[in-house]
Each structure stands twice: as C-alpha cells, then as structure tokens.
Amino acid sequence: MGEKMLEYSNKRKDMSNPEFDLTIYQLQAEISKTLAHPLRLAILHNLKGGERTVNQLTQTIGASQSNISQHLALLRQRQIVKTRKNGTNIYYRVASPKISQACDMVREVLIEQLSEKQELSRNYK
C-alpha cells in the first residue's frame, strides 16, 4: 500500500469530519490486478463449469501446463480458487460463485460496448 493509501486508511473516524476510508478499495484493486490477465480470466471461465485439473485446463485452453500451473498458484494464493486433492490429482474450483458472476458482468458490459461501436460504425457507412 502506498503512503497516501496508508494515510487514508489509518485515519480515525470522526463523525463531525468523516474521513473516507480507502482500505476496501485497495483490497478490491489487488483482486482486480490478479484478474487482469487474459489467461487467468480464461481459467476462471473454464472453472465456472465445475472443478478441473491442470491437465483438463491445459487441453481446453491450449496453454502449457507450467503456465497454467503458475497462474493457478497465483489465483490460489489470492484465494480466488480453491483446491481439492484426490489421489494424485488436484482439482481446482472457483472459491466463490460471485467471482464468476463479476467476471460475467464485466464480459457482458464489454459485449454491449462492442455492439454499440458496431452499431455506430454501421450508421456512418
């Protein structure tokens, strides 16, 4: 956290002069940074359908096993995905359905924006 962020988050709440606490926004920004990679978003999109192993994700997404594993490790560290071990297999799943819902909503907004741009483009031909 930067100095300015600490300055805001460490201020005491004073009802006569309420301070704006940015702590939750800092945490949200950290999660957003974690999600800000196309491969991690593809992994989460594939996990929306249920648990998957690294091998299954590799086959579906087409990235290397080591690359998928690295991204899953980061997602796990940030508590965005959880794991379950069964024999030699480790199964990954999205930690909360709200994460999938949030990703879906952002995708829907992007699709709407693309549709609007296409419509504008057609109107000016």
Position 120 scores a pLDDT of: 75
- All structural domains of the chain: 1-36 (no CATH), 37-123 (1.10.10.10)
Q: Give the integer Cα–Cα distance in Å for 72 and 81.
A: 8
Token duo for residue 120: 């504008």
* pTM (two decimals): 0.76
- Given this model, what pLDDT does residue 19 score? 67
Cα distance between residue 121 and residue 109, in whole Å: 18
DSSP string for residues in 13-52: P-TTSPPPP-HHHHHHHHHHHHH-SHHHHHHHHHHTTS-B
* CB 48, CB 100: distance < 8 Å: yes
Distance CA 25, CA 5 (A): 10
Residue 58 CA to residue 98 CA, distance in Å, equals 24
Q: Taking 70 as the threshold, does the pLDDT of residue 37 lie above it?
A: yes
Interatomic CA distance for residues 98 and 120, integer angstroms: 33
pLDDT at 1 (0 to 100): 46
**pLDDT of amino acid 125:** 65
Looking at residue 58, what is its pLDDT?
Answer: 97
The percentage of the chain sitting over the pLDDT mark of 90, rounded to a whole number, equals 74
Q: Which helix (H) or strand (E) holds 74?
A: helix 65-77
Give the pLDDT confidence of 52-108 residue by residue, as tens digits.
Answer: 999 999 999 999 999 999 999 999 999 999 999 999 999 999 999 999 999 999 999
What mean pLDDT comes out for the span 107-113? Answer: 93
